[in-house]
Amino acid sequence: MKRNRLGDSDLTVGEIGLGCMSLGTEEGKAVSIIHKALDRGVNLLDTADLYDAGRNEELVGKAVKGRRDRVIIATKVGNRRIPGQEGWVWDPSKAYILSAVKESLRRLQTDYIDLYQLHGGTIGDPIGETIEAFEQLKQEGLIREYGISSIRPNVIREYAERSSIVSVMNQYSILDRRAEEAVLPLLHDRGIGVIVRGPVASGRLADGRSIDKGYLDYGVEELLALRERLERLVSPARSMAQLAIRYSLSHPAVSVAIPGASSEEQLDHNLGAADVQPLTGDEIAAIRVITKSNVYTEHR
């Protein structure tokens, strides 16, 4: 699998990683999927303390035992569970981040995290304090690098200007081209790597599941018509999902795409995108002609 440098960091990642949120909570199945991914050349595993109340981190930790030096573990922080209270609250404070990292390290059974990401963020956060926390963790050797997971341009700009983030995780696909307007050019200029989530738009660009719910500003009929037009770019050697993953990798700012997988079959299909040719300039242009150049309307 092709490897890319993550931003200006020393982290080198396979161009397709594994988003671990969809693994489920059954240990045998989840560990088997992760092992197969690693055997196929995946080296970036993305999890979060939020997923299944920490169970996802535990499963990743079990799966990488004996293989830790081959894996780049990315996890996230910022969503805090209050004992006796349902759900989570947002807490990007320095005190909480310095506390939460210890629990993630315990669940992951490791003494360092390769990429620690803020799991969201608003323009009203104490951003300076949040940055201080990540910088302290780097100095202490508990994390190698840090980044943010955000679709808010105003938040992304603040961190790009004020911190030493090496990555931004952002939703980007044929159906969600909002990042093309300003976010991807900004990050490319700053040497900050993009980790793409949602490259197959929750299955709408794969098996068509959930298509009856629409997607962003696409209605059901629009999605059906678009899938028909995209079929012209599909071949026996390249499925719709693989076409979509390759599109998400086509922007020069993007370092890695992390489609999720809930089965080994789905994993195999996604990773097949690493074996097909990158899209040509003409193919990228054709996709952009038939899709919406949608833009962010909030958090600009």
Per-residue pLDDT of 221-278, as tens digits, reads: 999 999 999 999 999 999 999 999 999 999 999 999 999 999 999 999 999 999 999 9
Which pLDDT score is estimated for 181? 95
Q: How far apart are CA 270 and CA 14, in angstroms?
A: 13
pLDDT of 49 reads 95
The pLDDT, as a whole number, for residue 83 is: 78
Closest CA to 74 of 11, 5, 136: 11
Rounded Cα distance, 38 and 21, in Å: 16
What CA–CA distance (Å, rounded) separates 21 from 16? 15
Contacts of 80 (CB under 8 A, 6+ apart): 88, 89, 90, 91, 96, 100
Whole-angstrom distance, CA of residue 86 vs CA of residue 82: 8
**Residue 204: how many CB atoms within 10 A of its CB?**
25
Where residue 86 falls among pLDDT bands split at 50, 70, 90? confident
The pLDDT of 17-26, averaged and rounded, is 96
How many Cα atoms are found within 13 Å in the side-chain-facing hemisphere of 102?
4
Cα–Cα distance, 178 to 184 (Å, whole number): 9
Indicate the pLDDT class of residue 207, thresholds 50, 70 and 90: confident
Q: pLDDT class for 163, splitting at 50, 70, 90?
A: very high
Q: What is the pLDDT at residue 189? A: 98
The amino acid that residue 49 corresponds to is D
110 alpha-carbon distance from chain centroid: 21
- Residue 99 pLDDT greater than 90, yes or no: yes
Of the given ranges (70-74, 189-193, 206-210), which has the lowest mean pLDDT? Answer: 206-210
pLDDT at residue number 241:
96
Active-site residues: which are they? 51
Strands 143-149 and 113-119: parallel
Query: In this predicted structure, what is the pLDDT of residue 22?
Result: 94
Residue 81 has pLDDT above 90, yes or no: no
Distance CA 291, CA 86 (A): 40
Residue ranges of the domains in the chain? 3-290
Say which amino acid occupies 210.
S
What mean pLDDT is reported for the chain?
Answer: 96
pLDDT over threshold 90, residue 210: no
End-to-end CA distance of the chain: 36
Considering the segment(s) 3-290 as one domain, its CATH architecture is Alpha-Beta Barrel (3.20)
